[in-house]
Amino acid sequence: MLWYEDSIAKAIQISKDRKCIFLVYVSGEDELSKKMDETLAHEAVSDACKDFVAVKIKSPSDICQQFSQIYPVVFVPSVFFIGLNGLPIEITPGHLEPEEFNKKAQDVIKIHQSQLSGTANMDVDKTRAAAAAPVAAAESTAPAAAAATPSTLAATPEPERLNVAPESMELEHTDQPATEPLVAPPAEVPSTSAAPDSSASDSLDQRIMYAKEKIQENQEHKQVNEEKKEKEKEIGRRQLGKDVQKLRRGQVDRSLKEMQDEIKKEREEDRRARQRIKEEIDRDRAQRKAKWEQEKVERELMQKEMREKKMQENQMTAAEREAARREISRIQFRLPDGSAITQQFKSSEPLSVACSFISQHAGSNIQLYTMFPKRTFTAQDMTSSLLSLELVPSAVILVIPIKSVLAPKTYSNNFLGMILAPLFTLLNFIYGIIFGTPANPNPGDSRTTNKDNENTVPSSTTSQRPSTAYKRRSSPISRQEGNIHKFTSSQDDDDDQSTWNGNSTQQM
């Protein structure tokens, strides 16, 4: 495609002079414009449009804005085929293939040729109408001139009038063709008669006056026709302007309607898309909720099963532990001197076994009882098992000798001694409980020999403790809390022998 590189005004003038089609191509920077550039650069398209005056306009630009004020540019790229009357013959928006574009160009050429033929016929009609007016005037004056010719053959006309009249007619009617004179020239008038004739001069004056009147009428008629043509041209121009405005309004209305339809379509598509997304979200939410509920139920069932299983395991473990604890009875014997002896027995063994064990250390004449609950064991309880006596898994038994340790010998032989003997016995018992045994115990006392027994586990033996632990301080035999005195052992029990951490927890 050969593009006109000069200004658009010159291109329009050249298209009017050549009476050819004025092609305007509005291009952009998108892919469709690039494809349309390739179509217009095709050889077949260039051959088909070789007689066009083609102009290329870039969008956006100032020239494109000026062009769009006259011809609205709705789509880019677009090709405008503009005819001689300034109206677009064809507008091709978007991209077209070379074959399709050639078909459009051929159709535009045919329409343009039909417009050219119609314009030529109108020009011929106007020319014929303009030439017919002076011919009709000449035909109307021809009979009068023929009637006056015989009378003037014998007379010689005045040369001044004959010479001046043609000049005046030529000055007053310069636009008439020279080949159609209204009055014959003086050379054609015969001059055979030398005598002047008054009637001939009068007829010549009449003819001249008639010719002047006809010329004036023709001029007036021509002026009226010109005014009428000017009015028709003005009406045509106004009608053309109205048509152009109507075309522009139609194009604007169509473009606005297309834009409104496009906006409605886009809004409807957006609404449908939002509706689809909303439905998808609702479905996903319902699925997640159902899945969460199912997982929750499964999780609760699993947790319930785990709790039940753990509870069963704990119950079994507790039962096993309780059974294991009930199989062994750990009994701590508290002696009157404050010492303690701990020994383990089978829960099925009778109390007599425990009594026999402690008799080896405290003597046979002893009494066993518990503080919590407060109970004194009799000879009938010796045959009962430790389990039935509720001494399982552990218990504390107080060992009290029945016979007093210090018997008063001073008063044993008299009556006063018999009366005071129970009192001294009670005092010795209390003294032995509070202050312990006398300083010189018997060498054969069983308590001094019990510490090396293999079956006993004395609580006074201490184990190896780490340097970071501490041992509880041994308590005195008795301690006072208000008005209440409480007995304490002189030796540590198991809790006193244990190792304790700084946070009051027992170290294993």
Distance CA 361, CA 334 (A): 11
pTM: 0.28
* Tens digit of each residue's pLDDT (9 = 90 or more) over 92-107: 888 888 888 888 888 8
**Beta bridge pairs of residue 332:** 342, 396
* Tens digit of each residue's pLDDT (9 = 90 or more) over 254-287: 899 999 999 999 999 999 999 999 999 999 999 9
- Specify whether the backbone of 390 is left (phi greater than 0), alpha (psi in -120 to 50) or beta: left
Work out the burial of residue 137: count CB atoms within 10 Å of its CB; fewer than 13 is exposed, 13-18 middle, 19 or more buried.
buried
Distance CA 387, CA 331 (A): 12
Q: Which domains does the chain have, with CATH numbers?
A: 8-96 (3.40.30.10), 327-401 (3.10.20.90)
Percent of the chain whose predicted confidence (pLDDT) is above 70: 66
Distance CA 240, CA 237 (A): 5
Confidence of residue 298 (pLDDT cuts 50, 70, 90): very high
Which range is most confident: 25-29, 130-134, 303-307?
303-307
What integer pLDDT is reported at residue 277 of this predicted model?
A: 95
Confidence of residue 498 (pLDDT cuts 50, 70, 90): low
What integer pLDDT is reported at residue 389 of this predicted model?
A: 85
Whether 489 contacts 398, CB under 8 Å = no
What integer pLDDT is reported at residue 476 of this predicted model?
A: 54
Q: Which residue has the higher pLDDT, 102 or 180?
A: 102
Mean per-residue pLDDT over the chain, rounded: 73
Average pLDDT over residues 401-424: 63
Residue 385 has pLDDT above 80, yes or no: yes
Measure Cα distances from 145 to 94, 166, 182, 301 in Å. 73, 15, 10, 137
Confidence of residue 160 (pLDDT cuts 50, 70, 90): very low
Kindly state the greatest CA–CA separation across the chain.
234
Average pLDDT over residues 349-376: 86
- Helix axis angle for 198-327 and 159-172, nearest 10°, is 10
What integer pLDDT is reported at residue 283 of this predicted model?
A: 92
Distance CA 461, CA 450 (A): 12
Residue 121 has pLDDT above 90, yes or no: no
Average pLDDT over residues 290-307: 91
Distance CA 435, CA 437 (A): 7
Distance CA 119, CA 404 (A): 162
Confidence of residue 418 (pLDDT cuts 50, 70, 90): confident
What integer pLDDT is reported at residue 495 of this predicted model?
A: 58
Q: What are the φ and ψ backbone dihedral angles of 331, each rounded to 5 degrees?
A: -115, 130
3-state secondary structure of 483: coil
What integer pLDDT is reported at residue 201 of this predicted model?
A: 62
Distance CA 472, CA 449 (A): 27
Q: Letter for the amino acid at 100?
A: E
Q: Which of 3-12, 184-193, 223-232, 397-406 has the lowest mean pLDDT?
A: 184-193
Confidence of residue 88 (pLDDT cuts 50, 70, 90): confident
- Specify whether the backbone of 83 is left (phi greater than 0), alpha (psi in -120 to 50) or beta: beta
Nearest to 327 by CA among 344, 346, 343, 351: 346
**Beta bridge pairs of residue 341:** 333, 458
Confidence of residue 236 (pLDDT cuts 50, 70, 90): confident
What integer pLDDT is reported at residue 419 of this predicted model?
A: 79
Confidence of residue 468 (pLDDT cuts 50, 70, 90): very low
What integer pLDDT is reported at residue 91 of this predicted model?
A: 87
Angle at 326 (CA atoms; ends 321, 328), nearest 5 degrees: 105
Q: Which residue has the higher pLDDT, 489 or 104?
A: 104
Q: Which residue has the higher pLDDT, 412 or 334?
A: 334
Distance CA 19, CA 4 (A): 16
Residue 409 has pLDDT above 70, yes or no: no
Residue 467 has pLDDT above 70, yes or no: no
Q: Which of 20-34, 281-295, 462-476, 489-503 has the lowest mean pLDDT?
A: 462-476
Q: Which of 189-198, 329-338, 495-504 has the lowest mean pLDDT?
A: 189-198
Whether 145 contacts 207, CB under 8 Å = yes
15: part of which helix (H) or strand (E)?
Answer: helix 8-18
